[in-house]
Chains A and B, each alone.
Chain A
Amino acid sequence: MAKEFEHSYAFFLGCIAPNRYPGCEAASIRTSAKLGIELVPLNGASCCPAPGAFGSIDLNVWYAMAARNLVLAEQMKKDITLICNGCYKSIWEVNHKLKHNDELRDGVNEVLAEIDMEFKGSIDVWHLAELLYDEKICGVKKVADSVTRPLSGTKIAVHYGCHLMKPQKERHFGDSENPMWLEELVEALGAEPVLYRNRMQCCGAGGGVRGYDILHSLDITNEKMINLREVGADALTEVCPFCQLQFDRGQIEIQENFGQVYNLPVLHYNELLGLAQGMTPAELALDLHAIDCSPFVEKIGKEE
């Protein structure tokens, strides 16, 4: 175990980051290392599993499958960190529920016994973005100090997504109507955060709706795109690869189905942080994004 790291976490990858936007994974590992946070692979982890798809079919399977991932980290004696709101819903919420509900926990452990596992409740789960914001772990100032290539001259809008902060009473982030902490993290990179109408609205992908009724799902996304266009954002950032997929590939699908063109680059916050710490677009695999990110990258550092 490397000694130079102040903090070390089991890195839960999920599905869409490693399998569709590997730049998110690479950026998270490299940018965190520069901030004294070590991300250790959580070997053998699976899908979280998808809270919309699995939770809708059978909540008990959802608990047990998420618990299996949690036990893998318990065996490593490390807290989990992750970079996706959907994963946060499954992994954080199931951990929380099993820790506080003995009946539920006994039921899950009965299933886990079949594969020689036991949920003990010995670790915590964190979204990497909240660790970056947390003064005790990193903090906005430390993020700002790590920037070597400020994203100056760019306007960046934030999409918080849903499952990180909602339902508010089961989370610890406070107000879910008008949060500003991700905007602070964007500002730390030298960019100008911009607000827009109905900022906290859902991307439209969750709950299995993207698979169930794609046009309905895209219409929700399109409403957000209209609001984003209104404020002239150069890029949209989020902390959830599933939202990223919905906004990025969704824009192509919106073009095909509704004929509206936005060409708004969509980057995960850790990809932005990577750019600001000097990583190149190639090192972030930005070419895998459906919407060309180069107009945004070229704008960096060029004041209007």
Chain B
Amino acid sequence: MAVEKNYGNSELEKKLEDRYYYTSDSNKDFSEKVRDISGTASHMCFQCGTCTGSCPSAPRSSYRIRVFMRRAVLGLEDEALTDPDLWLCTTCYSCTDRCPRDLAPTDVIMAMRNLAFKRDIVPRNFLKTAQLIYTTGHGVPNNDVNRAARVKLGLTADPPTTHMYPEYIEGIQKIMDYYKLKENADRILSEGGN
């Protein structure tokens, strides 16, 4: 038979109404934002470590996906977003396929990276790829050696993408400008740092 807990301490009872545990570093909004962006219920994680055990990055770094799952639950925003290990996930989804709670830790990482970018925390290489796509439509653009090889193969020197039809690049720029991505990338890169 269920018994209603009564500690006879109104302050304690008010505290216990919220079943989640928060420390002074916790940001409740952070947990909710990560949940909404990732679409996965991190608080269901029971910390078994199957994710870290499946992770190709774990054996060669201090990156522990299980720790990031815990940070998502506890709302440890600063700790999660300022940790350089956040960017060591190769997004291989092994953890997601093996999670016994059917969660998607990979998508939690992606959500945290999105939130980090909003605070200007992002490695330079990500921004440089974005800049290349803005100007050429390609993350890995063509070059002269490759153009010569393509012609030898009977292909067009430039592929029939934005390279051959640069008139399409304007549409790409409009999409990226809608989200101010280029503007932010340029600004963050010009401010320097890592």
Contacts and interface: CB of A to CB of B under 8 A. Distances in A.
A301 interface: no
Nearest to A209: B90
B57 A216 contact: yes
Contact of A166 (B93, B137, B152, B165): B93
30 contacts: A19-B138, A20-B140, A22-B155, A25-B155, A26-B154, A53-B125, A53-B130, A55-B110, A56-B126, A57-B126, A57-B127, A61-B179, A64-B175, A68-B175, A166-B92, A167-B93, A202-B56, A206-B92, A207-B90, A208-B123, A209-B57, A213-B87, A216-B57, A216-B60, A216-B61, A219-B60, A220-B57, A220-B90, A223-B56, A283-B153
B139 A47 contact: yes
Contact of B110 (A26, A56, A205): A56
Given A202-B92, A283-B153, A58 B114 contact: yes
Contacts of B91: 51-52, 55, 162-163, 206-207
Nearest to A177: B97
Contacts of A53: 125-126, 129-130, 139
A112 B175 CA distance: 7
A9 to B, nearest CB: 14
B37 interface: yes
B117 A57 contact: yes
Most buried by A among B87, B122, B125, B159: B159
A137 interface: no
Given A49-B139, A58-B117, A115-B175, A167 B90 contact: no
A294 interface: no
B137 A46 contact: yes
Interface residues of B, number: 65
Given A56-B110, A60-B179, A211-B125, A46 B133 contact: yes
A212 B87 contact: yes
Given A49-B133, A51-B91, A68-B171, A220 B162 contact: no
Interface string A153-173: 000000000110011110000
| A-B pairs with lowest CB-CB distance, top 4 | A211-B125, A202-B92, A18-B159, A166-B93
A205 B146 contact: no
Interface stretch (A36-44, A122-130, A188-196): A36-44
Nearest to B150: A22
Contact of A285 (B57, B102, B149): B149
B175 A166 contact: no
A133 interface: no
Most buried by A among B102, B117, B126: B126
A56 B129 CA distance: 12
Contacts of B96: 166-167
Given A47-B133, A49-B139, A167-B97, 20 more contacts: A13-B161, A15-B138, A46-B169, A57-B122, A57-B130, A68-B171, A68-B172, A111-B178, A115-B170, A167-B93, A167-B104, A201-B56, A202-B92, A206-B90, A206-B92, A208-B129, A209-B57, A211-B126, A220-B90, A285-B152
B45 interface: no
Interface residues of A, number: 69
B22 interface: no
Contacts of A223: 56
B97 A204 contact: no
Contacts of B165: 43-44
B102 to A, nearest CB: 8
A131 interface: no
B189 interface: no
Given A68-B171, A68-B172, A285-B152, A47 B137 contact: yes
Contacts of A49: 133, 139
A45 B162 contact: yes
A111 B127 CA distance: 21
Contacts of B92: 162, 166, 201-202, 206-207
Contacts of B97: 166-169, 176-177
B160 interface: yes
Nearest to B37: A59
B100 interface: no
Contacts of B146: 19-20, 22, 288
Most buried by A among B56, B114, B126: B56
B46 interface: no
Nearest to B158: A18
B174 A115 contact: yes
B24 interface: no
